[in-house]
A and B are shown apart, each in its own frame.
Chain A
Amino acid sequence: MIPIGAKADPGRTPPPPLQLPVKDNTLRRVSVIFLVIFGVLAGVAIYAVKTINRAQVSSDWVNQTHEIILEVDGVLSTLRAGEGAMRTYLLTGDRRDLAAAREAFAVTTEHVEIAKALTRSDENAHAQVLRLEDLANRRIEWSERLAELREGDDAAAVQEALRTDAGVDALGEIRRAVERLREEQMALLAGRDRESYLQAQKTRWIVGTGVGLNFLLFAAVTWLLRDDLAARRRAAEALRAANEQLDAKVRERTTELAASNEQLTMENLERRWTNQALEHQLRYNQLIVDSVYDLVFVLTKALNVTRINPAVVHLTGWEAKDLLGGPLQRVVRLEENAEEPVLSPAGPIAQALRDGRELRERAAVVEDRRGRTVSAKVTLFPLRDRDKVVGGILIVHAASVSQEGKA
């Protein structure tokens, strides 16, 4: 049992220090990785948006290029249709054919205008369209002249004009111009198509690389978090074990303290019981002494009074405070040495105390406060403490009370 206030037993092994592996930089690493992931995502997204925008522009350009080709093809086809209708008019004189021819020529002009608008940003193509326009206008003007001649019913002039016509060459030239323009546009289309393919490949690589990189980064984050969780789990387990150990020690110590406390309580009760027993003992002893009718004096070896009983007060009239500490001879004197003070070292009482002897039934005189005397018999018992005489007990048995007092 460990008493209260005692130091810890040096023989006991102290618990091992709690070691907790702490991953302070895990959060920092994870944050950096997530920043990189978001950076890659943002980069891929921005690149993808730019690629989409570029593709949209490219698509618009392709559509426009196809429109140019359609328009220039339309110039040739409508020009041919117009000339065909015009020849029919020249043959039939039917004004409906003339109207059809003029309508076709109007469509031709429209195609040319559209082609001009579409090629405004391309200087080379625009120049070619302007040349095509010039050629087409010449053919239209020639057809109109033929129509005028036909309206004038000048058949000979019509034939002469037809004979000198360089239509085939003119149309061939127009056709060549159209074909050249078409070929150039198609070449541009092919180049743009190649570019688009390469751009798509590049985009595919970039997106794929970004996604792959992000997967790797996520895997790294997962590994870091898993590692950190494992460390925290180990730390929690170590903490739980340490707490259990601590609880066990606390319980053990509490039990010891409770037992120690109970022992102290019981010892305290025992001590209080002993004290009350001693008090009872002293009280009864005092009662016994106080009940004695004879006078009882407790003396030092120098015959000074240290204690008296109530009978002394009753008979002599002296109070305890008047006698305690004072000489015995104030109240008691041996008759055989009436001339000699009791306090004398040669007196019988002092001698008996020195020798450790009893004195029995010696004749004596007791004097009260008023000087009245009483005959008495005194008996002395040496007071011993472990065989050493420390004083004496004088029992005085008073015989009678004298009416005479000292003057």
Chain B
Amino acid sequence: MKKTILHLDDEAEIRDLLTQYLAARGYRVIPASSPTEAMRAIREDKPDLIITDLQLDDADGLEVVDQFKAVLPDTPVILLTGVLIDPHVAEETVGTKVAAYVEKTASLTKLVAEVKRLIGD
């Protein structure tokens, strides 16, 4: 059975890219464009992993992570960061709120490697 990944990002192109890439790697992807849409998707279909952007239009990524953890405390979360985060802050957050963070400038191969590390194939 395919593992399910919920992907939250306000940019359509990013959602489209990650959906195609992760689907080609054998994962089932549920894209969401806003925290509200993501919470609705979580209630309907519990994902095995959540990938969320840090910089969202109408919300703070870390606050959204808190909301996810309240509903799915055992589901790992990967934070996708742009260039506006301090690496030290990122390291402090890892292990407390999120299972991993990946920069958007990193390759998709690295992202998939983190996904595999957290939930397997």
A284 with B17: CB separation less than 8 A: no
B82 with A273: CB separation less than 8 A: no
SS of A interface (majority): helix
A274 with B83: CB separation less than 8 A: no
A273-B21, A284-B83 known, 8 other contacts, Cβ within 8 Å: A270-B107, A273-B17, A273-B107, A273-B108, A274-B107, A276-B17, A276-B104, A281-B83
Q: Which of A256-299 contact B (CB under 8 A)?
A: 262, 265-266, 269-270, 272-274, 276-278, 280-281, 284
A277 with B21: CB separation less than 8 A: no
A269 with B108: CB separation less than 8 A: yes
What does the 1/0 interface line of A234-273 toward B look like (CB < 8 Å)? 0000000000000000000000000000100110011011
B14 with A276: CB separation less than 8 A: yes
A-B contact pairs, 8 of them (CB 8 A): A269-B20, A269-B21, A270-B109, A274-B107, A276-B17, A277-B106, A278-B105, A284-B83
What are the nearest 5 A-B pairs in CB distance?
Answer: A277-B105, A284-B83, A269-B21, A277-B104, A273-B108
Whole-angstrom distance from the CB of A285 to the nearest CB of chain B?
8
| CB-CB under 8 A for A270 and B108, given A262-B24, A281-B83 | yes
What does the 1/0 interface line of B1-32 toward A look like (CB < 8 Å)? 00000000001011001001100100000000
A→B interface (CB under 8 Å): 262, 265-266, 269-270, 272-274, 276-278, 280-281, 284
Distance of A70 Cα from B31 Cα, bound (Å): 127
Q: Which of B76-94 contact A (CB under 8 A)?
A: 82-84
A276 with B13: CB separation less than 8 A: yes
Interface size class, chain B: 10 to 19
A280 with B82: CB separation less than 8 A: yes
Whole-angstrom distance from the CB of A286 to the nearest CB of chain B?
12
B104 with A265: CB separation less than 8 A: no
Q: Which of B52-107 contact A (CB under 8 A)?
A: 82-84, 104-107
Distance of A278 Cα from B84 Cα, bound (Å): 14
Pick the residue among B20, B104, B108, B109 that contacts A280 (CB under 8 A). Answer: B104
Whole-angstrom distance from the CB of A27 to the nearest CB of chain B?
58
A269 with B17: CB separation less than 8 A: yes
Distance of A11 Cα from B91 Cα, bound (Å): 54
Distance of A269 Cα from B106 Cα, bound (Å): 13
A266 with B21: CB separation less than 8 A: yes
> With a CB–CB cut-off of 8 A, which chain A residues contact B105?
277-278, 280-281
> With a CB–CB cut-off of 8 A, which chain A residues contact B83?
280-281, 284
Whole-angstrom distance from the CB of A216 to the nearest CB of chain B?
74
B24 with A265: CB separation less than 8 A: yes
Whole-angstrom distance from the CB of B86 to the nearest CB of chain A?
14
Distance of A114 Cα from B23 Cα, bound (Å): 120
* Nearest residue, chain B, Cβ from A266: B24
Distance of A276 Cα from B18 Cα, bound (Å): 12
* Nearest residue, chain A, Cβ from B20: A269
> With a CB–CB cut-off of 8 A, which chain B residues contact A266?
21, 24
Distance of A272 Cα from B16 Cα, bound (Å): 11
Whole-angstrom distance from the CB of B54 to the nearest CB of chain A?
12
Distance of A188 Cα from B105 Cα, bound (Å): 130
* Nearest residue, chain A, Cβ from B103: A277
* Nearest residue, chain A, Cβ from B82: A280
A284 with B21: CB separation less than 8 A: no
B84 with A284: CB separation less than 8 A: yes
> With a CB–CB cut-off of 8 A, which chain A residues contact B13?
272, 276
> With a CB–CB cut-off of 8 A, which chain B residues contact A281?
83, 105
* Nearest residue, chain A, Cβ from B25: A266
